[in-house]
Structure 1
């Protein structure tokens, strides 16, 4: 008979395993805790010390939220008031955090995007250096899953993938191809002015909110220009992309919270639904077009047809199928057409009409030029390229009301810029709107509407060096800038031919960035039909 005393029994094997699991779990939790503290506290503090030791000043890092609470407060204060009519000093309202930081701490100042330090770069030569990115030292700051909800196109790629996509997309935006899209531009503009003529009949003016009308116009243009015969399906994509843009901007305020986008909130579920519907529509359009091309049908003169043709030519080259892009990548590029193409031109045309209302002498000068070149005829490419005053006006609007107000880049390794050595992991913010309003670059009248500053072209408009970046700069300059400007010239010319316009008494001047720099309360205009 075997007896056992207290504490004399050896541990059972399962107890050893349980202890081992506890040890592993404890080690894993400790590792995660250390990593979390490193990410949320030690690393931001280390980066902050490295920047401040070189003389940079800015807001202090206090919590994981960074400057988000301050941004919310400043935005609320800025949105609580509108600007006086004729005032183009829009930076304090549109970018209140950057404006306050640069006012208090200097043009090269630190703010915080969550636990990541963000340094403003406003010197034109440094902006050019960052955007030129000759040696790949600066990466585009992307927002991963959130950005893919909007697009996964050329603008979000890096390195060889970007080079391949750019090579395939470039041919679709050559001027000779854009000329073939002019009938689509003209058809959409004709529909708009005919609708306005219908409601502006008689001697009395009619009031129109041109902001939604310009959104619909550019949505129609991009739908026809991108998808041709699939125009109605393209219109549905445009509507969905507009809704998605608003949801993404709302989510940007909470992106610093880890895992937020995976929470089953109403907004997150809706973003997923929209993304799935857009991709399903695009897959159907692309499949039908590819099948038509394989069966020998003629390639369409729309963006999708040109993109597919260019892609097939690359696949037939030396690189074989790997030289082309996949269907999913084609979908990303089509989404990019909408995000960049429609929004940029709609805000440009809207602000142009608003500013020509505020400055009727320039409206008269632009109309005289349009009538001199075209009379009552539909504008053509050669005539549009001769519109000097209209071009000056559009450039000045792009300067004062830059559609995309800020660009971001990130250092992935230590990099010296302008005498400052930036550690890896620092975001460089390029507040283009602030650069375009800088009195040191544009003169004491920087916030005044003076299109004549562009009379000798972009290079002579600002002091010392070019400081005009509405379509970015360098190798990553917007591939669709000629498309946007041609569309804007066509739309503005046809409106000037048929209408004179002034601001409605109900208009409130309130520029605010929601993706692009939009009129927060609309753009109410009175239209007079010209004889």
Structure 2
């Protein structure tokens, strides 16, 4: 069969080795550049093959394809630059990570295909990231002002692939093979897995290290167990009850600020409520907010996460600069706290650092990492939920009146808000060993993705899933939907968020204070455009009309 097209991809597999991937064949040839200690992989595509047809689509001059081609060129130049640095090094271990990752990924896909798991066919260099971008552009739907179903805007590729391949499918970001699961029974089995079977993905430790450090949210097995053991008692209900007055005191400046603004405006005016809720934060949280945005912008390069953080880009420099500022701010807080006799969470973290040498950790790193995690989880996610609560109550005045009159109604409003806008829209786990989930044998290293947002808006489970109906929780979570375990705003299984009780109490107290003094209605300037920045947030802020009661 005649060769139609050849593509050159830089990698380092043994010379002459043949790679077989269904209809695509590749042979390696040694580089002619004496300073490039690598081999070329020449891909031969045949007319009519799926790879050839996909490549035809990728050659169309669309905006997304041009962007991918530009990135492809940048990465190839990067590899050539790295090869020059390699001149003085030994060639004995010169095996590039890309080839290992690609071959291992193909083995994982084969194991799952034998069990009936399907998915979109990946390309060698970009996996399915090019197709994801193409789908997002082709299927992007304008978000309606009153539409709570944002999945078609943020994650259209997941919706399309679920429709095409079923509730369980596999896709690739080159560095990661991701098993997407939205089958309720398999999700239930995932919750039964032990922490030694399923843990937090290792790639998060690298890609989100600046934001989370090595705190409670990223370690696995022994290190996770140690941190959870020392921190969990601080989130028992008897401790949280003692924080209610503190939460009320922290809310007072916000209430006074809004009352002053409204008094000067005749009792009613538009307020950007998201800005004010974020201004409640201290300098540490403000810097973490900047870090969150910077880190979330790198998620498009998740397939290259093994080395994207080493690229000398402006974004990477910004992340490192912010990381240093956050660390200095946290260390200043710790120094002040060392002179205090308060027996609080920060004291527990500081005391816990004395035993962190057992985990091979530096004491200062242990403290800073856990403070980062607590700041982000304790404030960032609660803040996002509060903002969506106010938006939904402004759009549904009848429920605003119910919540203002009955404390029990506030709880239902919060639960429904967490269903429609869970702060963390995806739950990611990594198989730390070969594990069986339902009838599926999942190989070690597989990334398992459970999209909370998809489960929370599953019409088979919830009925009118895209409607704001807090009364569905009138008899508790168990009666709210067909399968209670698919409601998971705080996670699922052994690694459920330890701060969920504190988050619920904080949301209830702050919302009760706000509703007792103010009424909220939609602003004509509000644009409903949820975006994904590690959490689900309003894309253009949250301006609301606020009236003093």
TM-score, shorter chain, exceeding 0.5: yes
Deviation of 1:68 (Å): 2.1
Offset, 1:393: 0.7
Match of 2:208 in 1: 147
Matched, 1:509 2:546: no
- My pick for the range that moved more, 125-134 or 330-339, is 125-134
1:48 corresponds in structure 2 to 109
Q: 1:57 is paired with a residue of what secondary structure?
A: coil
Q: By how many angstroms is 1:352 displaced?
A: 0.7
1:112 aligned partner = 172
Pair 1:278-2:304 in alignment: no
* Contact in 2 for aligned 1:203/1:528 (Cα 8 Å): no
Q: Deviations over 1:235-279 (max 9, x none)?
A: 221121111111111122224334221122221122112112221
- TM-score scaled by length of structure 1: 0.80
The answer for the alignment partner of 1:411 in structure 2 is 431
| Paired position in structure 2 for 1:211 | 274
In the TM superposition, residue 507 of structure 1 has moved relative to its aligned partner by 1.0
Q: Find the partner of 1:331 among 356, 360, 368.
A: 368
Question: Quick check: 1:454 aligned with 2:502?
Answer: no
Question: Is the 8 Å Cα contact of residues 411 and 425 (structure 1) preserved in structure 2?
Answer: yes
Aligned length: 459
Higher deviation after alignment, 392-401 or 246-255: 246-255
Answering whether residue 258 of structure 2 is matched by residue 196 of structure 1, we say yes
**Displacement, 1:34?**
7.2
Q: Which position in structure 1 is the counterpart of 2:383? A: 346
Distance 2:332 2:168 in 1: 48
Q: Aligned-pair distance for 1:168?
A: 0.8
Closer, same or farther in 2 for the Cα pair 1:436/1:491, shift >3 Å?
same
Deviations 1:393-440 (A, max 9, x none): 100010011110001112233322122222222211010110111112
Report if aligned partners of 1:65, 1:115 keep a CA contact under 8 Å in 2: no
- Quick check: which one's helix share is greater? 1
Partner of 1:529: 548
Q: Which moved more, 1:81-90 or 1:56-65?
A: 81-90
Contact 2:349 2:370 in 1 (8 A): no
Deviations 1:330-376 (A, max 9, x none): 1111001111111111111111111111211111111112xxxxxxx
Indicate if the aligned counterparts of 1:101 and 1:110 stay in contact, CA closer than 8 A.
Answer: no
Question: Which is strand-richer, 1 or 2?
Answer: 2
Q: Distance in 2 between matches of 1:141 and 1:406?
A: 13
The residue that corresponds to 1:123 in the other structure is 183
Unaligned 5+ segments in structure 1 are: 1-21, 220-234, 370-386
Cα contact 1:45–1:61 (8 A) shared by 2:
no
- 1:198-243 CA distances to partner (integer Å, 9 max, x unpaired)? 22226562001212222233x2xxxxxxxxxxxxxxx221121111
Larger Rg: 1
The offset of 1:159, in angstroms, is 1.0
Aligned partner of 1:249 in structure 2 is: 296
Report if aligned partners of 2:127, 2:172 keep a CA contact under 8 Å in 1.
yes
2:163 matched to which residue of 1? 103
State the partner residue of 1:474: 493
User: Could you tell me which of 419, 442, 447 is aligned with 1:427?
Assistant: 447
- How many Å apart are 1:108 and its aligned residue? 0.8
